[in-house]
Amino acid sequence: MRVFYFTLILTGLLCGSSYLNAQPLQRKASYTLDDSLRGSLNPERSWWNVQHYALSVVPDFASKTITGTNTIGFISTHAKAKPVMQIDLQWPMKIDSVLFEGRRVGFEKRGKDSWLVQLNMRSVTKKKNEQSVTIYFSGTPRTAKNPPWDGGWIFSKDKEGRPWMTVACQGLGASVWYPCKDHQSDEPDRGATLSITVPDSLKAVANGRLVGQSAPQKGWNTFVWQVTNPINNYNLVPYIGNYVHWKDQYEGIGSKKLDLDYWVLDYNIDKAKLSFNKDVPRMLKAFEYWFGPYPFYEDGYKLVESSHLGMEHQSAIAYGNGFKNGYRGRDLSGSGWGKDWDYIIIHESGHEWFANNITTNDIADMWVHEGFTMYSEVLFIDYHYGKKAADEYCRGVRKNIRNDKPLIGDYGVNQEGSGDMYNKGAGLLHHIREMIGNDSLFRAILIGLNNDFRHRTVDSKQVEAYFSQKAQLNLSLVFDQYLRSTTIPVLEYQIDRGKIRLRFRNCIDNFQMPVRWGQRQLTITTQWTETTIDEDSDPQQLDGNYYWTLRSIG
């Protein structure tokens, strides 16, 4: 994703104030009609379910404009629904015309970035009968100011001065450039096609597999890409440039063959091969071990060089880390364990499991995307360098937590929570892993999540309940403390005559937590809990991987 947590540390160096004003991470004092139209499932959205997008786009590099169509296949989910459809397309883009089942229909603007399409029928009464609406659109899309953080359409040039275009719109929304139902809860069940028409000096790459190429007129080529799995709206993007391509294959779980495709600018192919061929197989080996099979074998795995740092575009991951180890050559953890692998390959690929396979219904629950994916870095290190190295890496990134606001945002208004969702989310998962004290069980929970919620959208509460159920621990208050509060518990202890007393302070009301200490499992509350202590029961064992403050009070 936007690897936003690093920008919080170095805001002045990387982002500037424009980003903070442009993205949904900054909580607003009040919300507008446009916030609700974008973030909620109102009557004009809730009666229909997207089945397929067939998107065609023709960008014009010189004028920085685009024209295109999107044919949306949908079914009704409600009998006798009012046949008015909300379509999202952000200003200054505009809808030119709309066809429903081949006939022109009326539409009107609602708010700044939404449109109401009047379908020509009395009511929608047929369930499971797929219909389609085709939207013709054009305009000058918002251009990205500092992608991927401050996103939009990217009209850039490579170092030889040739056009290089793509889109980065997570958070900002896919409706910044194409008309869609711009809500995370509704992914096209049958996937999408993306047709991109460009000058014949350029190549166009997108999600899934290349299923067609043609020359509609002299000097132009159209590339047609198809993704067969459900896909987030913001993940469906074109990449346009002077690309070259090579292929590989990975033998995954059960000897299943995963196609690997790499697209980079022509002058970078040698550097790219060294980087991609080294870290992609290592990533897949670690993540299939911890999370289960790669979720999109049908669509393949692809890295595409981009002009911006990176983004988790499903089956077509944006890569812009300069073919360096670490994050642009840096170890973000300060532990020494983040410098021997390419950060963007590992982090953005982790999103294939968490964000793309498992997607949150509301952007308020984005910690599920970012916390788990940040933790995938820890598990990558664990798999290849050992548990001690993973512990040190996680403690290193945990130092960057600000605890400025809760990780859970406001629902129904397209509002994320704190940028701490990266570091604090990872720290919370490492904390829970320590509480469980059984890595086989912890791994089974992660694999189970990706299997039981495969290609589904979920709420944070579902993920939280899943952990509690599978771990056979009541973790509800733990999640409330770390996701919905900014305070970090203080575990106080007293030792006297072979006894130790423990209690929590600086925590939510009625807080309690199951704690594994050596071979003991204790439930510690805000009241003193007493147990015996011996020479093998060092209280400092309760520090480190647990995310609290340990304090002796004499």
pLDDT of 1: 54
Helix (H), strand (E) counts: the chain: 13, 27
Instruction: Tell me, yes or no, whether 197 lies in a domain.
Output: no
Instruction: Tell me, yes or no, whether 345 lies in a domain.
Output: no
Instruction: Tell me, yes or no, whether 269 lies in a domain.
Output: no
Looking at the predicted structure, is the pLDDT value of residue 542 above 60? yes
pLDDT of 534: 77
Instruction: Tell me, yes or no, whether 132 lies in a domain.
Output: no
Q: Domain of residue 546: give its range.
A: 490-552
Looking at the predicted structure, is the pLDDT value of residue 441 above 60? yes
Per-residue 3-state assignment (H helix, E strand, C coil) for 72-141: EEEEECCCCECCEEEEECCCCCEEEEEEECCEEEEEEEECCCEEEEECCCCCECCECCCEEEEEEEEECC
pLDDT of 133: 97
Count how many domains the chain has: 1
- If you average pLDDT over residues 199-212, what whole number do you get? 98
Instruction: Tell me, yes or no, whether 532 lies in a domain.
Output: yes
Q: Check residue 489 and report its DSSP letter.
A: -
pLDDT of 537: 75
pLDDT in tens, 443-464: 999 999 999 999 999 999 999 9
Instruction: Tell me, yes or no, whether 216 lies in a domain.
Output: no
What is the rounded average pLDDT for all residues in the chain? 93
pLDDT of 358: 98
pLDDT of 82: 83
pLDDT band of residue 79 (cuts 50, 70, 90) is: confident
Q: Structure pTM?
A: 0.94
Instruction: Tell me, yes or no, whether 330 lies in a domain.
Output: no
Instruction: Tell me, yes or no, whether 212 lies in a domain.
Output: no
Angle between the N-to-C axes of helices 460-471 and 476-483, in degrees from 0 to 180, rounded to the nearest 10: 140
pLDDT of 122: 64
Cis, bond preceding 24 (omega within 30 deg of 0): no
Q: What is the CA radius of gyration of the chain?
A: 24
Which of 316, 148, 309 is closest to 231 using CA atoms? 316
Please state, in angstroms and as integers, the Cα–Cα distance from residue 45 to each residue in 96, 214, 266, 359, 550, following that order: 21, 36, 44, 19, 49
pLDDT band of residue 554 (cuts 50, 70, 90) is: confident
- If you average pLDDT over residues 396-410, what whole number do you get? 96
